[in-house]
Amino acid sequence: MPAPRPPQPPTPDRDAFEIHRAEVAEGMNLAYLREGVGGYPLVLVHGYPETKRVWWRNILPLVEAGFEVIVPDLRGYGDSDLSEKDEYDIVLYSKDLFALVHDILGHKKFGLIAGDVGGAVIVDMANRYQEHVDRMIFFNTVAPILPDQAEWYADRGLSMNPLEHGPTGDYRIRQGRDHEKLRADLDTPERCRQYVRDFYEHRLLASQYSFEEADFDFMVEPFGDIDRLAAGWAPYQLEYGRPMSDMPMMMQKTETPTMILHGPDDQIVPQDFPKRCEIAFPNRTGPLVVPECGHFLQWERADVLNDLSILYFSDLRSGR
């Protein structure tokens, strides 16, 4: 029998939250959740292969603590629009979210929480829109790289590549270099969903027994459409020549106060992630290691992330 995992907050029903839509760029509508209107705004940004559903265990505890919780689907994901021009990259995600939170919802200041691709997005947002981002929580993703600090990396035995292809990194090559063949292989909705399920179940991302059967179904359901699944591969194709709208602002120190968390059971993000963050985020809290946790920290240890988020952003609530 497996050892019991730490108890987690209950998972709300699939239809527990109202889905809103807003046009953030010409012809591009994002779907998003907005709960607790009037509290200090926290924006929760998913990664790949995720949608806003990965935050289901975080929304109500943060709302009950006095926050306005905004949870978007990135363009091409979940209930958001696909790009008619096949335009997807980190900077476009960042600009979409700023348009949503600042221009449409009217928040001049806000906090950000994210991992995976979402982590890269919020770093770009923090550097691109510095005066608007108060603080961030950043976990299990690509750590920013500082080209002018080569000696610092060398002294610590770190390469200048923060996410080298390891034994579980073949999916990045397939989605990046061989995406047309991969797309042809995933020729039914069932195969698309099974491909995504493997990330949660067999890819060594999550801590063991973090997901139950109903959880797998909940997470993979939005990926039955091959166009929507393939849209999420775009960032992986940048390494193989895909054009980007602009260079993401991830090659500089991020001055925004940031809490760094690491789920060490993640076998995709290198274990040197915390060390890399120590130079990339000079105004940091942590790095803090979260036990019995892997890549999907917001789901696997929602209890920890919820409590830390409430603590880290608590003083900002009084200014609302």
- Looking at the domain assignment, is residue 63 inside a domain? yes
8 found inside a domain: no
Does the residue 12 lie in any domain? no
Angle at 296 between CA 294 and CA 297, to 5 degrees: 75
> DSSP E strands: which ranges in the chain?
19-25, 28-35, 40-45, 67-72, 110-115, 133-139, 258-262, 284-289
Neighbours of 273 (CB within 10 A): 23
Give how many domains the chain has, as a whole number: 1
Residue-wise pLDDT for 134-183, tens only, equals 999 999 999 999 999 999 989 988 888 777 656 677 899 999 999 999 99
pLDDT in tens, 78-135: 999 999 999 999 999 999 999 999 999 999 999 999 999 999 999 999 999 999 999 9
CATH of the domain at 313: 3.40.50.1820
Domain assignment present for residue 299? The answer is yes
**What's the domain range around 73?**
19-319
How many CB atoms sit inside 10 A of residue 47's CB?
A: 24
Please tell me the pTM assigned to this model: 0.96
Domain membership flag for residue 1: no
In a domain, 28, yes or no: yes
Within-domain flag for 254: yes
Confidence of residue 39 (pLDDT cuts 50, 70, 90): very high
